[in-house]
């Protein structure tokens, strides 16, 4: 039995996005190691280089995860509703153009006002030329355009397939459960909630991000046009925080589909799962207020909304997803290939990073942890040990299914110790230094920053070794002959 043409075309899109995202990830990982080594005092970079590299690393990593995850999500939506492949390639073109602009802004442009590009920082007292700021802003706008195209395509398809927002959000399934079941109807599968919430919240926050980007481009062209700094900060953090957060929800779709494959069970949509996703839909776009706790001019009520939203956006969906994930694995006779290992370990990274994040979003605790290395500690945990692992997990589930084999025990240990073990050592350095009050975004840190950075750099090098071992294994499996069903 051969694979139909439309499935082949969808797989080609998924693999193009995955390969691009993971290649960008590897390049940004090298930058990350160089920055951590400078903080450890192992190497000395030219003045300013740390901040240029941090700008590229921060945005590059998030976009890498988004590209890899979106390719997978697009593939899942396409399995329910056939999508036009040309639109996915158009969005891909925008992403690639955006990435190229951002790289040019940093090498050779030396742009160094970070992904936040907080007004008016990119315009005053800079050590880089004005054109680099412009190219950076245009690159960001192009990447946002790519994201909007994919979100719009997926949302339109979901609305058509499930009968508007009422069907997509499974409102009747929750409020008229019995009638719904008696009529033999089915709610959308869990991964479609990930797609719908990504698309809806992605479109809202992209509109705000694009508004900010265009305002900044106008100011770049004509500096006499002033912007309100508080307005600007609200917009960029709304977009930046939501986009970074959505990478988790994009990638978690891989858990729903991948774990079901591995356990040969169905990941059912349930009422708690739907309600939890409603929480994420509503609160993920409000949680960013926690970035402005220190802004005394911000309306006080918004600070409390930020704290409550931070809890409600994350906790319900984490609890329900992980509880059902564990139940799925329990007594399933699952064989622990790299796919299942990554998906399962990714849930642990998601929980640990999530707890560290909501702690930091709690106002009295934020007084101590604000802008310390605790912050990169929490987001590196759920991005490196959560989102990345979900993406790798789904990738290996595909490879294992295609070849009908699992990796050897030795390979699993090598990759596992590299990515999970090295990763744990790497994030630990951020947490300990952060708890001791070492500030984030400093090329040269006060004690115990450099000591912790040394340990973390060793951890990051181990991650690199594990990642390379994983790449070799993936390429080896991809070259194995496909089983009959996948030929």
Residue 353 touches ligand HEM, criterion: CB under 6 A: no
For residue 415, the minimal CB distance to ligand HEM (Å) is: 14
Of 308 and 428, CB closest to ligand HEM: 428
**Nearest to residue 53, comparing CAs of 110, 99, 120, 101?**
110
**Nearest to residue 464, comparing CAs of 37, 68, 30, 61?**
30
- Site mask, ligand HEM, residues 94-123, x = CB under 6 A? --------------------xx--------
Question: Treating both helix axes as pointing N-terminal to C-terminal, what angle do 190-221 and 229-251 enclose, rounded to 10 degrees?
Answer: 150
Inter-CA distances, 113 with 108, 120, 213, Å: 15, 10, 14
- Site mask, ligand HEM, residues 398-427, x = CB under 6 A? ----------------------------x-
Asked whether the beta carbons of 302 and 292 are under 8 A apart, the reply is yes
For residue 407, the minimal CB distance to ligand HEM (Å) is: 22
For residue 43, the minimal CB distance to ligand HEM (Å) is: 12
For residue 477, the minimal CB distance to ligand HEM (Å) is: 23
User: How many residues would you count in the chain?
Assistant: 487
Residue 388 touches ligand HEM, criterion: CB under 6 A: yes
Inter-CA distances, 189 with 100, 186, 240, Å: 36, 8, 28
Report the site for ligand HEM in 444-473 (rule: CB under 6 A): 460, 463
Inter-CA distances, 292 with 313, 317, 434, Å: 17, 24, 19
Of 186 and 368, CB closest to ligand HEM: 368
Which of 117, 236, 313, 384 is in the footprint of ligand HEM by CB under 6 A? 384
Cβ-proximal residues to 123 (8 Å cutoff; 6+ apart), any chain: 130, 133, 219, 220, 223
For residue 98, the minimal CB distance to ligand HEM (Å) is: 16
Residue 65 touches ligand HEM, criterion: CB under 6 A: yes
Whole-number Å distance between alpha carbons of 78 and 85: 9
Give percent helix, percent strand, percent coil of the chain, each to the nearest 5: 80, 0, 20
Which of 40, 56, 61, 199 is in the footprint of ligand HEM by CB under 6 A? 61
Tokens encoding 280? 């994420």
Of 23 and 90, CB closest to ligand HEM: 23
Burial class (CB in 10 A: 0-12, 13-18, 19+), 265: middle
Residue 376 touches ligand HEM, criterion: CB under 6 A: yes
- Beta-bridge partner residues of 439: 372
**Nearest to residue 308, comparing CAs of 287, 282, 326, 329?**
287
- Beta-bridge partner residues of 372: 439
Of 318 and 463, CB closest to ligand HEM: 463
Which of 18, 29, 154, 352 is in the footprint of ligand HEM by CB under 6 A? 29
For residue 251, the minimal CB distance to ligand HEM (Å) is: 10
Residue 57 touches ligand HEM, criterion: CB under 6 A: yes
Residue 58 touches ligand HEM, criterion: CB under 6 A: yes
Whole-number Å distance between alpha carbons of 218 and 229: 15
Residue 440 touches ligand HEM, criterion: CB under 6 A: yes
Whole-number Å distance between alpha carbons of 243 and 285: 9
Of 63 and 329, CB closest to ligand HEM: 63
Burial class (CB in 10 A: 0-12, 13-18, 19+), 1: exposed
Asked whether the beta carbons of 202 and 152 are under 8 A apart, the reply is no
Whole-number Å distance between alpha carbons of 455 and 18: 30
Of 381 and 401, CB closest to ligand HEM: 381
For residue 117, the minimal CB distance to ligand HEM (Å) is: 10
**Nearest to residue 337, comparing CAs of 420, 396, 251?**
396
- Residue 249 sits at the vertex; the CA angle it makes with 33 and 324, to the nearest 5 degrees, is 115
Of 68 and 210, CB closest to ligand HEM: 68
Of 88 and 463, CB closest to ligand HEM: 463
Q: Whose CB is nearest to ligand HEM?
A: 32
Asked whether the beta carbons of 266 and 187 are under 8 A apart, the reply is no
- Site mask, ligand HEM, residues 129-168, x = CB under 6 A? ----------------------------------------
Among the listed ranges 76-84, 157-165, 220-228, 376-384, the one in contact with ligand HEM (CB under 6 A) is: 376-384
Whole-number Å distance between alpha carbons of 425 and 448: 16
For residue 253, the minimal CB distance to ligand HEM (Å) is: 17
Which of 40, 62, 102, 210 is in the footprint of ligand HEM by CB under 6 A? 62
Instruction: State the number of binding residues for ligand HEM (CB under 6 A).
Output: 23
Of 361 and 384, CB closest to ligand HEM: 384
Of 189 and 354, CB closest to ligand HEM: 354
Which residues contact ligand HEM by CB under 6 A? Answer: 29, 32-33, 35-36, 54, 57-58, 61-62, 65, 114-115, 376, 380, 383-384, 388, 426, 440-441, 460, 463
């Amino acid at each position: 039995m051969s694979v139909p043409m439309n499935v082949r075309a969808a797989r080609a899109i998924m693999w193009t996005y995955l390969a691009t995202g993971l290649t960008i990830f590897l390049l940004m990982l090298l930058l990350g190691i160089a920055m951590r080594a400078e903080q450890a005092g192992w190497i000395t970079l030219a003045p300013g280089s740390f901040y240029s590299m941090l700008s590229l690393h921060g945005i590059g990593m998030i976009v890498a995860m988004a590209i890899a995850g979106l390719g997978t999500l697009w593939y899942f939506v396409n399995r329910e509703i056939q999508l036009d492949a040309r639109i996915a390639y158009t969005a891909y073109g925008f992403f690639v153009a955006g990435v190229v602009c951002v790289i040019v802004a940093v090498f050779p442009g030396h742009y160094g006002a970070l992904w936040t590009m907080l007004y008016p920082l990119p315009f005053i007292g800079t050590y880089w030329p004005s054109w680099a700021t412009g190219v950076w802003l245009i690159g960001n706008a192009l990447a946002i355009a790519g994201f909007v195209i994919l979100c719009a395509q997926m949302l339109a398809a979901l609305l058509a397939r499930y009968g508007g927002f009422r069907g997509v959000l499974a409102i009747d399934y929750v409020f008229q459960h019995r009638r719904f079941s008696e009529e033999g109807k089915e709610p959308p599968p869990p991964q479609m909630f990930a797609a719908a919430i990504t698309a809806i919240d992605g479109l809202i926050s992209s509109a705000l991000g694009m508004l900010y980007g265009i305002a900044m481009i106008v100011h770049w062209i004509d500096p006499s046009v002033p912007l309100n700094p508080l307005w600007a900060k609200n917009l960029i953090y709304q977009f930046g925080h939501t986009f970074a957060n959505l990478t988790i929800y994009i990638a978690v779709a891989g858990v729903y589909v991948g774990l079901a494959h591995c356990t040969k069970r169905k990941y059912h949509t349930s009422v708690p799962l739907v309600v939890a996703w409603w929480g994420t839909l509503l609160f993920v776009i409000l949680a960013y207020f926690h970035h402005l706790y220190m802004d005394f001019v911000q309306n006080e009520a918004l600070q409390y909304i930020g704290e409550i939203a931070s809890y409600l956006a994350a906790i319900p969906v984490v609890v329900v997803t992980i509880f059902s994930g564990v139940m799925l694995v329990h007594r399933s006779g699952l064989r622990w290939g790299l796919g299942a290992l990554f998906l399962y370990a990714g849930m642990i990274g998601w929980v640990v990073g999530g707890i560290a994040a909501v702690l930091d979003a709690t106002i009295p605790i934020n007084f101590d942890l604000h802008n310390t290395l605790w912050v990169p500690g929490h987001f590196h945990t759920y991005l490196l040990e959560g989102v990345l692992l979900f993406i790798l997990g789904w990738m290996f589930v595909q490879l294992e299914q295609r070849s009908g084999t699992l990796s050897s025990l030795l390979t699993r240990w090598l990759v596992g110790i590299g990515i999970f073990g090295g990763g744990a050592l790497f994030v630990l350095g951020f947490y300990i230094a952060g708890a001791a009050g070492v500030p984030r975004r400093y090329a040269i840190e006060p004690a115990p920053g450099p000591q912790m950075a040394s340990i973390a750099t060793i951890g990051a090098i181990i991650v690199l070794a594990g990642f390379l071992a994983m790449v070799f294994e993936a390429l080896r499996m991809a070259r194995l002959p496909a089983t009959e069903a996948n030929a």
